[in-house]
Every structure is written in structure tokens, then in C-alpha cells.
Amino acid sequence: DTGVSQNPRHKITKRGQNVTFRCDPISEHNRLYWYRQTLGQGPEFLTYFQNEAQLEKSRLLSDRFSAERPKGSFSTLEIQRTEQGDSAMYLCASSLGANTGELFFGEGSRLTVL
């Protein structure tokens, strides 16, 4: 499978715990995006990487959130001291440059904070 891969698919954690999600983009894609999607809503932009550089972060990304993309390949999204309001689907998408316009999405990582 050469699509965008996200792990774990589902994470249940207790409030206050740290969680980390991983995204493996399509191999030749240099752009990587993280979105958050709550039930019944559209995805909201969190952050964007071009290669290994994090070029934009949304105000939604509080200090408890950190994302990395070492070596410009896979990316991780860590949430520290989780809160119940963090419960959502975290989507990763990748694209090859911006001109094509198409983002390829993974199946998402669903976070449930108890």
C-alpha cells in the first residue's frame, strides 16, 4: 500500500497522559499536513511541513501540541497532558508541491480522552 499511513488508528487514554501519533506520507511527497476533525465537523488545519521544516502552525495548536518531521519523511504529532477536549480524529495528509492541489489523506487516528 503506497497511500498515507497513520498509527495508531485508535487511542484511548486518560486525561493528563501523553499521546503520540505517527504519519507516514506517500514517499515522494514533500508537503505534510495535520488536521483535526471533531464529530460531524470539517477538518481544521493544525500544522504544515515542507520537507523537515514546520512552516505554519494554527492557533488551534496549543503549547501542549508538538509536531515534528525529522529528515522530511514521517511525522509525529504529540499531545502532552491530554484533556477531554482533545478527543477528535487527527488526520494527516501529504502532497507533492502545491500546484497539483490534491492532498492525499490517511485514515486518521482517533483519540478518546477519558
Partner 1 sequence: AQTVTQSQPEMSVQEAETVTLSCTYDTSESDYYLFWYKQPPSRQMILVIRQEAYKQQNATENRFSVNFQKAAKSFSLKISDSQLGDAAMYFCAYRSPAGGTSYGKLTFGQGTILTVHP
* Nearest residue (CB) to partner 1, 14 versus 28: 28
Grid cell locating 17: 497522559
* Nearest residue (CB) to partner 1, 14 versus 102: 102
* Nearest residue (CB) to partner 1, 55 versus 114: 55
Output the smallest distance, CB 100 to partner 1, in A: 9
Helix (H, G, I), strand (E, B) or coil at 19: strand
Output the smallest distance, CB 62 to partner 1, in A: 19
CB count within 10 Å of CB 106 equals 21
Contacts 24+ apart (CB under 8 A), 97-101: 97/30, 97/31, 98/31
The residues binding partner 1 (CB under 8 A) are 3-4, 31, 33, 40-45, 48, 50, 55-56, 91, 93, 95, 97-99, 101-103, 105-108
CA distance 29 to 103: 10
Output the smallest distance, CB 41 to partner 1, in A: 6
Pairing state between β 10-13 and 109-113: parallel
